[in-house]
Amino acid sequence: MFISSARLAIRTARRDDGKLLAWGHDFADAELSKGQGQPRVAARLWGRRIGLRLRGYNRRLVARETERGFAFDLDNPGVLAFEHQDQLLLPTKAVWRPEFGLLKTTLTLDKAPPRGEWVFDLDVPAGVKFAYQPALTPAEIDAGCIRPDWAIGSYAIFDGPAKIGHLSRPFATDADGDWTWGTILASGGAATVRIDETWLAAARYPVIVDPNIGYTSVGGTSTTSSSNNVYVYTIGGGSGVATAMYFYCNSSPARNITMGLYTADGTWAADTGGAAGPASAAWHTQNLDSPLTLTNGESYLAAQNHDGGTLTQYYDSDANSLQTWGNTVSTYSGGVLPSPLPNLTYALAAWSPIRWSFYCAFTSPVYPDAANVWYGSGQYGPSGTDYTPSKRASSIANCSAGNVKNGVAIDDVLGNFIRTSTIASERYTIQINDKLIDVVNLNVMEV
């Protein structure tokens, strides 16, 4: 998927208090006062605030600060705690270790509850979606895909094209260490956690129920790609200048990887110089050899090819995803992808719809802010940057019709106005050569 460089930078950016924008939990000052507050918390995923509140508790309760968060004394009876952890020990003895840690939500029950269901209201910003992770299809299993137990029945959290977190599959553990998986349903602005009531009735208390949110941009399911094959993934369209490819993978032992872009019809558009991939699972970044100006409305394909043996890559299921993917045999050549793209073998029909942990970073186009274009000089705006004309009628970058944010532009070769927007009852001062012209109710012509 295309994602802006500024958006990607949030992954490692820090807040004023030193915490990563990609993770953290906090309470508004008004929510905790004199050791009391409401059982709710705000999880910050890539700087996006997602609020969680246990439904049915809108009044203030006793709240205690813990080593890594806060705990609330409930009256059902029990304790609800929100804490930041680096990793989670699962009942299977496996460890879940998201990129930037997790918000551990622990509900400790002193006795069997009336029902094995708890609802957490979600305060989710517009554009944030929860994608359910079903069991793998037979085709995915045959292909060697691995979806950990904690991820089956979980939700990947997306903000537009970017994955910002993961809501894990809940589980419950009793005082003897016996445990069971639960279920979670994210829908209608709420996350409903359910634990089997028969198991709860037979358990020895206290019982701990664990639904958790991981701060991560990485797909929760892994698979492998073979060497000397071009793997291609649809990533949609973008507007701006493509600069770099981001690929989460594990290339141990070391594999050399080349990435790049094709247009939807298989025409080669850009590639990277090729480099050795990470020795352990991590984001792998390569700059494009030359920045690529994206054609607005054009759809693109991302591609990777590598040498050596297999390479592990990651994805999430997403029923709303329109991504397709395929591959074709092609001998690896460092820094060079085949041109044009050979015919691909597609296998998506037997797989669930997916989103790969594979991004193309782009910078948004920079449009001039004012109408100060100098005829014959190639200069515009307060900075006076020189865009030496190379051809008539289209000589200034980003100065084409509709691309100037405010005011009007003038072609620096012909001196003609370029229409940028509807203009009425406003005065503009336009500079042509060394003359200043005041214009009121300007009607401009296209060039």
Highest mean pLDDT among 18-32, 51-65, 425-439: 51-65
Tell me which CATH code domain 221-363 carries: 2.60.120
Question: How much of the chain, in percent, has pLDDT values that exceed 70?
Answer: 77
The reported pLDDT for the residue numbered 392 is 28
Residue of 38, 140, 82 lying closest to 350 (CA atoms) = 140
What letters, b where the CB count within 10 A reaches 16 and e where it falls short, cover 313-349?
A: bbbbbbeebebbbbbbebebeeebbbeebeebeeeee
The reported pLDDT for the residue numbered 27 is 58
Cβ-contact 64, 79 below 8 angstroms: no
Q: Residues 6 or more apart from 142 whose CB is under 8 A from it? A: none
What letters, b where the CB count within 10 A reaches 16 and e where it falls short, cover 143-165?
A: eebebbebbebbbbbbbebbbbb
Residue of 253, 270, 250 lying closest to 262 (CA atoms) = 270
How do residues 393-419 score in pLDDT, each as one tens digit?
A: 333 444 443 344 444 444 443 444 433
Strands 212-214 and 162-167: antiparallel
Reported pTM = 0.80
Average pLDDT over residues 115-121: 93
Strands 358-363 and 2-4: parallel
For residue 332, pLDDT over 70 is answered with yes
Cβ-contact 169, 150 below 8 angstroms: yes
For residue 383, pLDDT over 90 is answered with no
Q: Residue 291 corresponds to which tokens in the numbers above?
A: 């920045």
- The DSSP output letter for 86 is S
Q: Residues 6 or more apart from 417 whose CB is under 8 A from it? A: 408, 409, 410, 442, 444, 445, 447
Q: How far apart are CA 93 and CA 29, in angstroms?
A: 37
Highest mean pLDDT among 9-23, 25-39, 106-120: 106-120
Q: In this structure, is the dihedral angle defined by the CA atoms of residues 21, 26, 29 and 30, taken in order, positive or negative?
A: positive
Q: Where are the domains of the chain?
A: 2-138+145-214, 221-363, 366-447
Q: How far apart are CA 396 and CA 374, in angstroms?
A: 11
Q: Residues 6 or more apart from 434 whose CB is under 8 A from it? A: none
The reported pLDDT for the residue numbered 331 is 94
Highest mean pLDDT among 193-207, 228-242, 340-354: 193-207
Highest mean pLDDT among 28-42, 128-142, 375-389: 128-142
The reported pLDDT for the residue numbered 407 is 42
Is pLDDT larger for residue 26 or for residue 218? Answer: 218
